[in-house]
Amino acid sequence: MEPMDIRILLADHQALVRCGLRRLLDDLPGLCVVGEVASGDEAVLRARDLKPDVVLMDTQIPGIGGLEATRRIARSDLALAIVVVTRQVDDPVQSQFLEAGACGYLTKHCSVDEIAEAVRVAARGERYISADVARQMALSMLPGNEQSPFDRLSQREVQVLMMVAQGRNVHDISERLCLSSKTVSTYRYRLFDKLGVENDVELTRLAIRHGIVGMSMDT
């Protein structure tokens, strides 16, 4: 390691990926991986011990998870930059990572060269957001694409949504809400339309992803 090298801490749950990335990054001039961790908790601890310049953070690591780890590391008074590496472009929580203090954001669909570039930019204290993620973020800021698509729902629609997500059928919902089955179906289709989904399962999955309902049926 040269004295001016950018020191990197790698956080990813797959040892194979960590090991391969470490070797690939170490081969590039000016970069040096000083540590690897497999969980969010470890990332917080090792960031404190190793004082790297950049933490490369997988969003879906076990333990406290990538988001909480990002928040804790960013809140500590360490002089480092966090670059988040996500699995998919349309991650519903990317803005939360940026709010939590990440200064770089890319997906695992990028090349090694791009991740190296992101590390260098972040180490200079600047922001790096990969083109595919930036495009997605820009589109989601257009009118009609507010932060949460659920904000646009009426109270009745939310009520029907919650019941669908509890696994109830149309007949059951209509009895509970004292509406006709036809009206309940109309609400369902309006929900599908507003949220851009095609069926009850997709609707429920979207609600889970946004934390509107829990991961099990009784919540």
Partner 1 sequence: MTAPRSFAQAASSPIDVLLVDARQLVRAGIERVLADSGYLTVCAGVTGFDEAIRYARTRQPKIILVNLPGSAVDVLDGARKIHRQFADIKVLVLTDESDLIIQERLLQSGVAGVINSACSVDELYTAIDTLMSGERYVSDSLAQKLAERRIPGRGGTPFDQLTHRELQILLLVAEGRNTTAIARELCLTQKTVNSYRNRLLEKLQAGTEVELMYLALRHGLVSIACCT
Residues from 146 through 185 that contact partner 1 (CB under 8 A):
164-169
CA distance 158 to 160: 5
- Tell me whether residue 60 or residue 183 sits nearer to partner 1 (CB atom): 60
**Beta pairing partners, 54:** 8, 81
CA distance 87 to 109: 8
Minimum distance, C-beta of residue 74 to partner 1, in the bound complex (Å) = 16
**Residue 211 binds to partner 1 (criterion: CB under 8 A):** yes
**Beta pairing partners, 3:** none
Q: Which is it for the CA torsion 139, 140, 141, 142, positive or negative?
A: positive
Of the candidates 41, 88, 157, 194, which one interacts with partner 1 according to CB under 8 A?
A: 88
- Tell me whether residue 45 or residue 197 sits nearer to partner 1 (CB atom): 197
Question: For residue 54, what is the DSSP state?
Answer: E
Minimum distance, C-beta of residue 10 to partner 1, in the bound complex (Å) = 10
Of the candidates 79, 142, 178, 215, which one interacts with partner 1 according to CB under 8 A?
A: 215
C-alpha closest to that of 33 among 61, 14, 52, 47: 52
Strands 6-11 and 31-37: parallel
- Tell me whether residue 141 or residue 217 sits nearer to partner 1 (CB atom): 217
Residues from 89 through 118 that contact partner 1 (CB under 8 A):
91-93, 96, 107-112, 115
C-alpha closest to that of 191 among 213, 164, 171, 167: 164
**Residues found near partner 1 in the complex (CB under 8 A):** 13-21, 23-24, 38, 60, 65, 67-68, 85, 87-88, 91-93, 96, 107-112, 115, 164-169, 197-202, 204-205, 208-211, 215-217
